[in-house]
Structure 1
Amino acid sequence: RASYAERFSHVMVDEFQDTNPLQNELLCLLERGNLFRVGDERQSIYRFRHADVGLFREHRASAAADGRERSITQSFRSRGEVLDAIDLVFEGLWGDEFRPLEPGPEAWSSEPRMSPCVELLVTDRHKGRWDDRFEAQGAEGVEPFGSAMRGVTPWRAAEARLLARRVEELTTRGPFSYGEVVLLLRATTHIGVYERALEERGIPTYVLGGRGYWSQQQVGDLRAYLAALANPLDELALLSVLASPFAGISVDTLVILASSARAAHRNLWSALGEIGAGGAGDDIPEADAKCIEAFVERFGGERAAAARISIETLIDRVVTGSGYDRAILAMPAGDRRMANVRKLMRMAREFEAEEGRDLRGFIDFVAERDLITEREGHAPLEAEDLDAVKLMTIHRAKGLEFPVVCVADLGKGGREDDAALRISDDGRLGIRLASLEGEASDSAELSQMKEQGKLDDEEEERRIFYVAATRAQEHLVLSGATDLEKLSAPAALEEPMRWLWPTLAPGLAEMGARGEAREPYGHREVVVRCEVLRPEAVDDLLPAHDREPARPEPEPPGLEALTAPALAAVPVPEALPVSRLSYSSLARYERCGYRFYLERALGLPATGEARPAPRPGEANGEGLPGLVRGTVVHALLERLDPSRARLPEPEEVAEAIRVTGEPVREADVEELISMVAGFTGSPFFERLANARRVRAELPFAFTLDTKGGSLLVDGVVDVQAEEGDRLLVVDYKSDRLEGREPSVVVAASYSTQRLVYALATLRSGAPRAEVVYVFLERPDEPVAATFGASELPQLETQLLGVAEGVLAGRFEPSRAPHRGLCAGCPGQASLCVWGPERTQAEEPPPVGVVLGVNAG
């Protein structure tokens, strides 16, 4: 403690009112009579983070007793008219404890741009009166406040429409610009209601913070699409995609599909595949059957290409290819919706720049970001200083200031914590007890704790409103709903408008639709412009064309938009750095450095059919493609338990093939079972069964130190087993050997992979590493190499030599191009130095170079 405390001559803590007991305890440990605390108890609004305003009060009282307290009550932010209104409200709420804000020297120096500077927009909160007013329209299915407000509580819809019209009057027809206005809300729950109300009047908006981005429909659609692309057995994701504009299938048909798939004990993707092949039943409408056929064909093609193109391109292809972009651009705020799509594409590009191409990884990354990110705003169309009305929470606005502040949704009441169990800070326990009659009642301790918590919450709600109101520089609009006919005194956690209007405008209940309230304050008068929206007189203040405004058409661009600006020449940039590699990345780089750069660093998508030329027996639809064959057999072997070998059932193999989107052939099923059977009958499988610990699909990662920093190398091994003083690493290969010796194939194609596996194993602390390749075509001839811990420096040097070209930014085309290597390369058509006579040539016979290792 002393060593830390002595490091600081002085310690200053700002926003001290928001500290919690633990933070305060840590600060006290540092204090040597040199701790300077700055704060304002009226701005303590983080109780949900365990902030305790009582700590501030205790320290302030202690400092005051020692003559070490200084108060600053002068405000240099707001106009005098705004400060007087704030002081009037809170002097009535907090009494003698409240110290009024004194206006700064500029507070009265100029005439206001619009007078009065304070406004009160009050909407009747009684739902029954609104229902009675629009009963006839409701019976006809007509939304009284427009289709954009469908499902919104009538009084909140009315308030949002009224506030949006007033913002239009202050901006479009008034002295303020859009960018000078902010709407502040207690929470993000209903922020979309106010955003839509503004946008439908042609007012540009910009949402800062909140969880609005992740809740946007287009973002959810794309997340579901990517999840289904990665795993079509994820039925929630697949159903979400089918119901979206990506497929456009009716809900009735989705119910039929899901029910029939469950009845047949099959997954939904398999059922879709049958319909896509023309097997739709009579119970599926013809239009939906055509949509399913088109979707299955398009989706299957995208799944086949997903591993070879960037995630950003996957999103772009489905959005443009399915017409999704046209569908969302035709909706209200279509440009904002499309910007959210582009934002997700940008996230994908940034993810791949750091992590490499990993669709499943990106899906998990987005899900984690959604879970832990407190405030993810909608995608901006411009910078944050664009000329648009901003919407944000009051907490987000703390410390900021704006010319015009509209505090909205003041009809939203607080929420009481109704937990059945509570533990107080001083250790008291409160619990809800069940009776023999099945009812429950709070214990005396719980009742006391709840009552005190309710009072504390109410006090903080008032401080939150204080923070919101004090953000205003020139103009303050207070908007909300309450029951003006409710005469009882406001209870704790009732809507803020309940206690607000009696102070600012005591005669509001008798006022007409519009008026002014004047209240004396000191030697001045607080003038408040008032609007009161009641159901019975709604047409006087909010006529039909304001309840559902016609969205104005955008103005056509002027002639200046047709003139392209002069652009300076862009210098040739350095090659993008690579900080993370896997074996597959290194292998792609070794095959062709230029294609690696185009796809990995630049993120260019593969073009056309990116599959290499088929092997003999795969042409004309005979046999599974090599990549699919390997994927399926690896999936089957992953489920294999060496301690009790069990061959997969034919239906299990068939289902594994269906998941890939390939047709199931009996010959393929038999071949795959035969491959697994050959391996389980081999001596090496018996060796695995006798190993001490066997783990399948084990991920690894290690770093290599380079001249420019460090390089992360990662990957996954098929099997790792502990055997005596060594770790055994096994890699299955489903390659067709075509007469070649397994050892020659390993030396020619997998030497770098073997090097990576050996390093990863030795880096884990194993004294010896044995890397074994098992070719399932000849499982009795495993290819093994053993490495000792003493060889670690030599192996690191070798791997750095392999990766040296990547680290140095050398991305040269392959010296031996051929059709299998160049198929689908984004540079083949016009960027590559090789012409089609080389890039479309047949593959030359394989030649291997054996990596120097100790046989073992």
Structure 2
Amino acid sequence: RREQAGDGVLPLTMNYRSRPEVLAVVNHLFGADFGDEFQPLAASGDFPDPVFGAPVELLVTDKSTYSETDVHWRRGEARAIARRIRDLIAAGDAAPGEIVLLFAAGTDAEWYEEELRALGVTTYRSTGRGYFGQQQVVDLLAYLRLLRNRYDDEALVSVLASPFVGISNDGLVLLRRAAPKRPLFVALERELPATFPERDAQLLRAFRQRYDRLTAALARLSLERLCERIISEHDYDLAVLARWDGRRRYANLRKLARLARSYEELRGPDVEGFVRFVRDQEAVGARELEAVAEEEGGDAVRLLTIHAAKGLEFKVVVVADAGRDKAPPASHEILALSDGRFGFRVADPITSKPRGAYAYDAVQEARREEDRAERLRLYYVAMTRAIDRLIISGSIDPERTADDTTPIGWVLGRLDAKEEIERAGAEPVELEREGARVILRVDRFATEPEVTVESFPEDGQLALFDEGGVAGALPPLVPALQPLVEIAAPPVHRVRRLSFSALALFERCSYRYYAERVVGMRPTDERSAVPGTPGLAATEIGDAVHRLLELVSLEEPIPPDDLAARVRAWYPRVTDDELERIGGFVRSYCDSELARRVAALPGARPERPFAFEHDGVLLHGRLDVLQLEHEQAVVVDYKTNSLSEGTPEEIVEHDYRLQRLVYALACFRAGAQEVEVVYHFLERPDAVVSTVFRLDQVSDLEGELSEAIARINAGAFRPTPSEFICAGCPALDVICAGPRLRSASYAEHALATV
């Protein structure tokens, strides 16, 4: 064939993808319009499995039947497609992952996805706005703008109307009236009007508290951490994860936080600069893909644009929304074609109306023909993506001639199917044109059947009240109703999110967890709880050690030269003994065999955040050190516990068992096949406890975590007192006797429980 072509063009007419029946329809539709340059396609693939019935279908929605209803015709088309896809899946003709919906424009693809979801069909949509246009990304960027400039009205309205706050439209209007000629935030700084809706007022007060906390922390947070704090402060992550596509939305938020981290590594912690960078990227059309979510690559029906499907193939292709009217070309003042022809419009000197000069009208008509040809080529690409079955769907109004120029109108015209559409009923109609066989299905609006209530003659109703009733007998008594089942009392506490520190607290003393995390009591000063303890509290010492270890290079573990100055700047009341103790903890790690091992690990990084969902609870936290390489993960956690409490192994098993399995599950969710969790008790360089988990243990770990969550939700909060655990507890000597509960004078029934 190459020799026959010589120096000319070698036509590629062999199709190794589609069935002959599909190609017969494609050849029939496009042969006449593409002219002599069109080369009919011939099937070269082997198809051992037959397709029952014609593999090409037309789903035509009659717009005129929807004109007097409250249902949009495009919604009707989406429902018809959803029903057809559900039938194909139920019949076993295709799995959801083998089906794709293709759109020339993804503007209304969400409607089609909603109808598929309503019928229980899993979907994955990659159409419409790009990554920077996703609503959750827009919301978070608006909040970042607001942190830099509280008087940015556009950002403030975006935040208030989003799930960050969620006030009503009436509340936004009243807020504008409260500060008519000033920035909108001024109304929040004043006292709200008495007529302001109470719910909106509560939401605004909560917003101000959280916003003020974030602005106060702005200077000391990295951009990535700031994004995480914004999301967690307002429970935006929970609002996102509650959506059916919540995993994808949450993945987009995490991706924006990672972009912020990358920006900060190059440009520094500049919030305004990062927002401007993202805006510039969107303005120049930078293509940023959405974060990969669970639905992508899974067994789900995909919704794509035709351009995104180029080079791909699918068992079932649905070319949807083919009845969309293409917007008329703009009335340009100057038109030019690639062949050199051009034209322009000038104002008529008498009427002042624009008139074409030179070949303007001819050039404009040629431009229309070019657009039409380009649209046909686009639909040619879409239809040739199909392997076994091709479904073309669109909406038309049979009485509207303008619909003849739409893609579905063009297809019906090529098939000369006007008469078949008019007489088509609920059953499909089979068409055959020059060897091309097509099944035609027409969807028309149908009202839901009304439920009829049996009526009785008025005389018969009144006869019931006559003495003796009807025929001298009263109707039989109704049977006795079943007694109402008593409604269970609501749970004391239903956990929605847990940090590893909260889990560790619950493991050590569930009653202190209840006091701090459920009731909201604030911990007291540990130094007053343990007489004779000067200087810093134990938690403050641990915090200082962790902050210093963040400054230590993992590749070259050397204590900071200005260790003492830094600690005194953080905690002015630190004593010399405590300073020496803190420095000893840091040196203990730097001199340890574990530090030398971590220095040799490729890709080890400090302070890595994690978050994952289990049993409807969002678990989150940070890992002191994480190394993830070749499906193997190593997690290092620093501990400043006193080893007088027991051996390192005993302390880990008693206090950090749940924390350890959460670390392991977080790494398994990130793709690791084996996870090693290492605890280093910094009181001694050799006080290291290492545990290795493998992938076959995941079910056991998840079961143990489920049991812990169930215990929290069960509300059985009982104190497990000790001198160490009770130090700083806000319930001590208020509603709990603390260590005195262990004495014989306190009977079992006197224990403080919930």
Deviation of 1:457 after TM superposition, in Å, equals 0.7
Which residue of the partner structure matches residue 231 of structure 1? 149
Q: Could you tell me which of 172, 178, 184 is aligned with 1:268?
A: 184
Three-state SS of the structure 1 residue aligned to 2:124 is strand
CA–CA separation in structure 1 for the residues paired with 2:87 and 2:558? 59
Amino acid in the other structure paired with 1:529: I
Q: Once the two structures are superposed, what CA deviation does each residue of 1:270-292 show, in whole Å capped at 9, x if it has no partner? A: 44233xxxx33324333333322
Deviation of 1:163 after TM superposition, in Å, equals 0.9
Which residue of the partner structure matches residue 674 of structure 2? none
Deviation of 1:808 after TM superposition, in Å, equals 6.3
Q: Once the two structures are superposed, what CA deviation does each residue of 1:384-414 show, in whole Å capped at 9, x if it has no partner? A: 4222222211111112211111111100122
Amino acid in the other structure paired with 1:514: E
Deviation of 1:300 after TM superposition, in Å, equals 0.8
Which residue of the partner structure matches residue 439 of structure 2? 529
Question: Cα–Cα, structure 1 residues 65 and 256, in superposed 2: closer, same or farther, change >3 Å?
Answer: same
Question: Cα–Cα, structure 1 residues 214 and 124, in superposed 2: closer, same or farther, change >3 Å?
Answer: farther
Which residue of the partner structure matches residue 815 of structure 1? 563
Structure 1: segments with no counterpart, 5+ residues: 1-37, 39-62, 139-143, 145-153, 544-591, 600-804, 839-856
Amino acid in the other structure paired with 2:104: R
Three-state SS of the structure 2 residue aligned to 1:410 is coil
Determine if the alignment matches structure 1 residue 102 to structure 2 residue 42.
yes
CA–CA separation in structure 2 for the residues paired with 1:527 and 1:325? 51
Three-state SS of the structure 1 residue aligned to 2:220 is coil
Question: Cα–Cα, structure 1 residues 205 and 419, in superposed 2: closer, same or farther, change >3 Å?
Answer: same
Structure 2: segments with no counterpart, 5+ residues: 452-543, 573-606, 608-621, 626-636, 643-682, 684-754
Which residue of the partner structure matches residue 497 of structure 2? none
Determine if the alignment matches structure 1 residue 499 to structure 2 residue 410.
yes
Q: Once the two structures are superposed, what CA deviation does each residue of 1:674-728 show, in whole Å capped at 9, x if it has no partner? A: xxxxxxxxxxxxxxxxxxxxxxxxxxxxxxxxxxxxxxxxxxxxxxxxxxxxxxx
Q: Could you tell me which of 426, 445, 453 is aligned with 1:513?
A: 426
Deviation of 1:593 after TM superposition, in Å, equals 12
Q: Once the two structures are superposed, what CA deviation does each residue of 1:25-49 show, in whole Å capped at 9, x if it has no partner? A: xxxxxxxxxxxxx9xxxxxxxxxxx
Q: Once the two structures are superposed, what CA deviation does each residue of 1:163-194 show, in whole Å capped at 9, x if it has no partner? A: 12212222244331111111111112222222
Q: Once the two structures are superposed, what CA deviation does each residue of 1:281-318 show, in whole Å capped at 9, x if it has no partner? A: 32433333332222112101101112222333333333
CA–CA separation in structure 1 for the residues paired with 2:427 and 2:558? 72
Deviation of 1:323 after TM superposition, in Å, equals 3.2
Which residue of the partner structure matches residue 55 of structure 2? 117
Deviation of 1:123 after TM superposition, in Å, equals 0.8
CA–CA separation in structure 1 for the residues paired with 2:354 and 2:639? 77
Which residue of the partner structure matches residue 222 of structure 1? 140
Determine if the alignment matches structure 1 residue 243 to structure 2 residue 161.
yes
Three-state SS of the structure 1 residue aligned to 2:359 is helix
Which residue of the partner structure matches residue 710 of structure 2? none
Deviation of 1:104 after TM superposition, in Å, equals 0.5
Contact map agreement 2:345 2:356 (CA 8 A) in 1? yes
CA–CA separation in structure 2 for the residues paired with 1:286 and 1:105? 68
Q: Once the two structures are superposed, what CA deviation does each residue of 1:469-505 show, in whole Å capped at 9, x if it has no partner? A: 111111111111122345x6976xx211111023346
CA–CA separation in structure 1 for the residues paired with 2:285 and 2:549? 32
Amino acid in the other structure paired with 1:815: L
Determine if the alignment matches structure 1 residue 416 to structure 2 residue 328.
yes
Which residue of the partner structure matches residue 697 of structure 2? none
Amino acid in the other structure paired with 2:412: W
Q: Could you tell me which of 401, 406, 410 is aligned with 2:318?
A: 406
Three-state SS of the structure 2 residue aligned to 1:207 is strand
Which residue of the partner structure matches residue 511 of structure 2? none
Amino acid in the other structure paired with 2:383: A
Determine if the alignment matches structure 1 residue 382 to structure 2 residue 318.
no
Larger deviation, residues 461-470 vs 440-449: 440-449
Alignment of 1:670-709 (within 5 A): none
CA–CA separation in structure 2 for the residues paired with 1:119 and 1:375? 35
Question: Cα–Cα, structure 1 residues 367 and 533, in superposed 2: closer, same or farther, change >3 Å?
Answer: same
Which residue of the partner structure matches residue 459 of structure 1? 373
Contact map agreement 1:209 1:375 (CA 8 A) in 2? no
Identity of aligned residues (%): 36
Deviation of 1:209 after TM superposition, in Å, equals 5.3
CA–CA separation in structure 2 for the residues paired with 1:509 and 1:254? 51
Alignment of 1:166-205 (within 5 A): 166-205=84-123
Amino acid in the other structure paired with 1:77: R
Deviation of 1:358 after TM superposition, in Å, equals 2.8
CA–CA separation in structure 1 for the residues paired with 2:283 and 2:275? 12
CA–CA separation in structure 2 for the residues paired with 1:382 and 1:332? 11
Amino acid in the other structure paired with 1:74: M
CA–CA separation in structure 2 for the residues paired with 1:396 and 1:432? 41
Deviation of 1:456 after TM superposition, in Å, equals 1.0
Q: Once the two structures are superposed, what CA deviation does each residue of 1:572-616 show, in whole Å capped at 9, x if it has no partner? A: xxxxxxxxxxxxxxxxxxxx99748748xxxxxxxxxxxxxxxxx
CA–CA separation in structure 2 for the residues paired with 1:252 and 1:104? 64
CA–CA separation in structure 2 for the residues paired with 1:428 and 1:444? 8
CA–CA separation in structure 2 for the residues paired with 1:74 and 1:538? 48
CA–CA separation in structure 2 for the residues paired with 1:446 and 1:236? 43
Q: Could you tell me which of 79, 84, 87 is aligned with 2:27?
A: 87
Deviation of 1:78 after TM superposition, in Å, equals 0.8
Which residue of the partner structure matches residue 699 of structure 1? none
CA–CA separation in structure 2 for the residues paired with 1:439 and 1:483? 34
Q: Could you tell me which of 221, 232, 247 is aligned with 1:309?
A: 221
TM-score in terms of structure 2 length? 0.58
Contact map agreement 2:100 2:317 (CA 8 A) in 1? yes
Contact map agreement 1:315 1:345 (CA 8 A) in 2? yes
TM-score in terms of structure 1 length? 0.51
Contact map agreement 2:316 2:387 (CA 8 A) in 1? yes
Question: Cα–Cα, structure 1 residues 436 and 197, in superposed 2: closer, same or farther, change >3 Å?
Answer: farther
Alignment of 1:253-402 (within 5 A): 253-263=171-181, 266-274=182-190, 279-373=191-285, 375-382=287-294, 384-402=296-314
Larger deviation, residues 391-400 vs 421-430: 421-430
CA–CA separation in structure 1 for the residues paired with 2:299 and 2:76? 26
CA–CA separation in structure 2 for the residues paired with 1:365 and 1:198? 37
Deviation of 1:241 after TM superposition, in Å, equals 1.1
CA–CA separation in structure 1 for the residues paired with 2:127 and 2:221? 32
Q: Once the two structures are superposed, what CA deviation does each residue of 1:542-583 show, in whole Å capped at 9, x if it has no partner? A: x9xxxxxxxxxxxxxxxxxxxxxxxxxxxxxxxxxxxxxxxx
Alignment of 1:349-748 (within 5 A): 349-373=261-285, 375-382=287-294, 384-424=296-336, 425=338, 426=340, 428-433=342-347, 437=351, 439-443=353-357, 445-486=359-400, 494-504=405-415, 506=417, 507-521=420-434, 525-535=435-445, 537=446, 595=547, 598=550
Contact map agreement 1:408 1:480 (CA 8 A) in 2? yes
Deviation of 1:538 after TM superposition, in Å, equals 6.6
Question: Cα–Cα, structure 1 residues 510 and 341, in superposed 2: closer, same or farther, change >3 Å?
Answer: same
CA–CA separation in structure 2 for the residues paired with 1:437 and 1:806? 79
CA–CA separation in structure 1 for the residues paired with 2:67 and 2:134? 29
Contact map agreement 2:22 2:390 (CA 8 A) in 1? yes
Amino acid in the other structure paired with 2:366: Q
Q: CA RMSD in A?
A: 3.8
Amino acid in the other structure paired with 1:195: E
Question: Cα–Cα, structure 1 residues 436 and 338, in superposed 2: closer, same or farther, change >3 Å?
Answer: farther
Deviation of 1:441 after TM superposition, in Å, equals 3.9
Determine if the alignment matches structure 1 residue 157 to structure 2 residue 68.
no
CA–CA separation in structure 2 for the residues paired with 1:213 and 1:192? 16
Deviation of 1:156 after TM superposition, in Å, equals 1.1
Question: Cα–Cα, structure 1 residues 489 and 161, in superposed 2: closer, same or farther, change >3 Å?
Answer: closer
CA–CA separation in structure 2 for the residues paired with 1:489 and 1:429? 27
Three-state SS of the structure 1 residue aligned to 2:100 is strand
Amino acid in the other structure paired with 1:111: D
Deviation of 1:214 after TM superposition, in Å, equals 3.4
Deviation of 1:79 after TM superposition, in Å, equals 1.0
Three-state SS of the structure 2 residue aligned to 1:81 is helix
Q: Once the two structures are superposed, what CA deviation does each residue of 1:743-768 show, in whole Å capped at 9, x if it has no partner? A: xxxxxxxxxxxxxxxxxxxxxxxxxx
Contact map agreement 1:168 1:201 (CA 8 A) in 2? yes
Contact map agreement 2:396 2:403 (CA 8 A) in 1? no
Q: How many pairs align?
A: 486
